[in-house]
Structures are given as C-alpha cells and as structure tokens.
Structure 1
Amino acid sequence: MVRRFSDPVEVRVEVRPSDGPQQRPEAFIWRGRLYVVREVLDRWRERRAWWRDALDAEEVHARPGAALAAAASEQEVWRVEASPGWSFAPGVYDLAHDQSVHGEQWSLVRVAD
C-alpha cells in the first residue's frame, strides 16, 4: 500500500563530485525520527504542484513572472530504501527535492508499506 504525504523533512545529502554537482540523500528526519538511507532505488523528475504556489497568499508579493516560472519548474524525486535504525525493517520512501521561488526544500511525498 502506498500512502501520500506532503510533509517537510530535513535531509542530509552526500555530494558526489564524480557524478557532477549531484546531491544524493543519505539520511532524513521525518516526524522527529532519523531515517538512514540504505539504498537509492530510483530517481526521476516530475512537475511540481504549481497550483499550490498560485493559491499561496505570499505569492501575491512575488516578483513579476514568478508564478509562470513556478508552473514550468520540476522537482527531483528520490525513491530510497531507509529505516530508523539497523534493527528495524526498511521501508520505501519518496523524497522530493524542490527548488521553488520560496527556496530549496525537501519533502516526503510517498511511503510504500
């Protein structure tokens, strides 16, 4: 079963210079618990939910053209296998890395049981 979320998470990344300036998640904090990434299963880009930015009250004060730029932007999604410790069974988590008009953000978007 897959559950959807839009929870902000704090992500610690590993920068791999051999792959270019790519940032790979190695751990994240979700709901006060540290999850260690055991393996990156997949990675892809998908369109952001731009309508959320359009409905955001703060967006009214954005610079001209910012809403259009937000509509065209994408987020990078990392599917990782992670667990809150080595004694726990791992789960599959989708972490979205978003560089929007509000700055760089990570969020947990899906959890597979």
Structure 2
Amino acid sequence: MVRRFSDPVEVRVGVPEQPEAFIWRGRLYVVRQVLSQWRERRAWWRDALDAEEATVRPGAAIAVAAREQRVWRVEASPGWSFAPGVYDLAHDESAPRDRWSLIRVAD
C-alpha cells in the first residue's frame, strides 16, 4: 500500500548528491539504499491553491506549471533494529530555499 504525503523534511545529502538521511516528524531516518531517481512535474494545482493573491503575478501560473522536482526513492529506517521502508523524497530545485518533502511511503 502506498500513502501520499506532502510533509516537509530535512535531508542530509552525500557526496554524489544523494540523500543519506532525513528527519520526518521529529525522527531521524537513515537511508540504507537509493532505489531509483527521476524527475516529475510538480502538482501545479497545489501551488495555485496555496498562492496568496498578493504574490500572484500575471504569467506566473505558466512558470509554476513548468516546474519540476527531482524524486529519490530510498529504502530507509529509523534505526538498524527497525525494518526498512520505501520512501519517496522530492527536492524542489526551483524553490528559493533548499526545499525537500516526503511525498510517498510504501508499506
């Protein structure tokens, strides 16, 4: 079963620019293995719904629709004694700050 989220996470990135660990809901998860990596378009409708009228500029919707995020599918666990799970971490490279989020968890 796959559950969807859009929770912000803090991610520690290693030398080949891959996630090594992340903090989700106050708990540290150690990445045991990177399973896959790809790019996907962001959910532009979420950005449109979350946008404040004061920050929306003409033509901004086109730029938002074209934004992509890099997704990493990792096997991780909150400790070596716990069974690992599969997590999808999204990195929004177009955000002004280094923004990561957890978007899917597979049980």
Q: 2:101 aligns with which of 68, 93, 107?
A: 107
SS at match of 1:89: coil
Does 2:91 correspond to 1:91?
Answer: no
Per-residue deviation, 1:57: 3.4
Q: From 66, 71, 88, give the equivalent of 1:72.
A: 66
Alignment partner, residue 20 of structure 1: none
Q: Structure 1-normalised TM-score?
A: 0.84
Deviations 1:17-70 (A, max 9, x none): xxxxxx210000001000000000000111101112122233642555433211
Shift of 1:75: 0.7
Contiguous gaps of at least 5 residues in structure 1: 17-22
TM-score by length of 2: 0.89
Distance 1:11 1:58 in 2: 27
Q: If each structure's strand is expressed as a fraction of its own residues, which one has the higher value?
A: 1
* Equivalent residue letter for 1:8: P
Aligned partner of 1:31 among 19, 22, 25: 25
Contact 2:9-2:100 within 8 A present in 1 as well: yes
The 3-state SS of whatever aligns with 2:72 is strand
* Structure 2: stretches of 5+ with no match in the other structure: none
Matched length: 107
Alpha-carbon RMSD across the aligned residues, in angstroms, is 1.7
Residue pairs, 1:2-13, within 5 angstroms:
2-13=2-13
Higher mean alpha-carbon deviation, 54-63 vs 87-96, is at 54-63
**Alpha carbons of structure 1 residues 63 and 102: separation in structure 2 relative to 1, 3 Å:** farther
Seen in structure 2, the aligned counterparts of structure 1 residues 44 and 59 have a Cα distance that, compared at 3 Å, is farther
Q: CA contact under 8 A between 2:70 and 2:93: conserved in structure 1?
A: no
Equivalent pair of 1:66/1:101 in contact (CA under 8 Å): no
